[in-house]
Amino acid sequence: MAVWEPPLLLGIDPGLANTGWAVVDARQQVVASGTIRTKPGPPAPRLVVLVGELRQVLASYQLQEAALEELFLGRNASSAIGVAQARGAVLAALGEAGVTVHEYKPSHVKSVITGYGLASKTQMGRMLGLQLSGSTGDHHAADAVAIAVCHARTRRVAEGVPGAVGRQPR
């Protein structure tokens, strides 16, 4: 008889130039993380690279769930377009692989990690360092770790609360 193993969770911080990713286990420990980098140029070849490298990550781990931040539209419209394009490519690759996607507002991720929804990147990094053992990688990978850990914690709460979305049958 096979022993049930909780699923590995994938966190993704999409971007056209740099897409952070992190695989986290049920104990919220980082299994692997990295950053997919693309060279400057037209978006189509960059998106092809992004999807190809993400497919390699998906093939390397048995992933059932992934988490991304919801799109945040800041002041720079051109970077928002690139992030939106990268998100679309990521969502397509995850859908193709049959991975369930969960999305969180940036303020929710910050609140789960630090207790403060307006935390700075410095505060996020400090709290991740205190809460996790090992390196989280560069800031793109660290953002992906934060998103994955946020999903792991949110998922645990949802599973333990009767009637909560995502509750697993016992």
Per residue in 48-103, pLDDT (tens digit) is 999 999 999 999 999 999 999 988 777 777 788 999 999 999 999 999 999 999 99
Q: Is residue 165 scored above 90 in pLDDT? A: no
167 C-beta neighbours (distance < 10 Å), count: 14
pLDDT of residue 166: 45
> For residue 55, what are the domain limits?
8-160
Whether residue 58 is contained in a domain is answered as yes
Query: Mapping DSSP to helix (H, G, I), strand (E, B) and coil, where does residue 50 land?
Result: helix
DSSP secondary structure, 86-144, as one string: HHHHHHHHHHHTT-EEEEE-HHHHHHHHHS-TT--HHHHHHHHHHHSSS---SHHHHHH
CATH of the domain at 114: 3.30.420.10
Annotated catalytic residue within 53, 65, 69, 143 = 69
Segment (H or E) for 8: strand 8-13
Whether residue 136 is contained in a domain is answered as yes
What's the pTM value of the predicted model, to 2 decimals? 0.87
How many domains in the chain?
1
Cα 36 from Cα 41, distance rounded (Å): 15
| 159 annotated active-site | no
| 69 annotated active-site | yes
| 143 annotated active-site | no
Whether residue 16 is contained in a domain is answered as yes
Of 91, 96, 44, 51, the closest CA to residue 68 belongs to 91
Cα 40 from Cα 145, distance rounded (Å): 25
Whether residue 144 is contained in a domain is answered as yes
Whether residue 38 is contained in a domain is answered as yes
Whether residue 112 is contained in a domain is answered as yes
Burial tier of 36 (Cβ tally within 10 Å: 0-12, 13-18, 19+): buried
Q: Which two tokens stand for residue 109?
A: 């991720």
Annotated catalytic residue within 13, 53, 65, 143 = 13
Annotated catalytic residue within 5, 70, 103, 138 = 138
Whether residue 54 is contained in a domain is answered as yes
pLDDT above 90: percentage of residues in the chain: 71
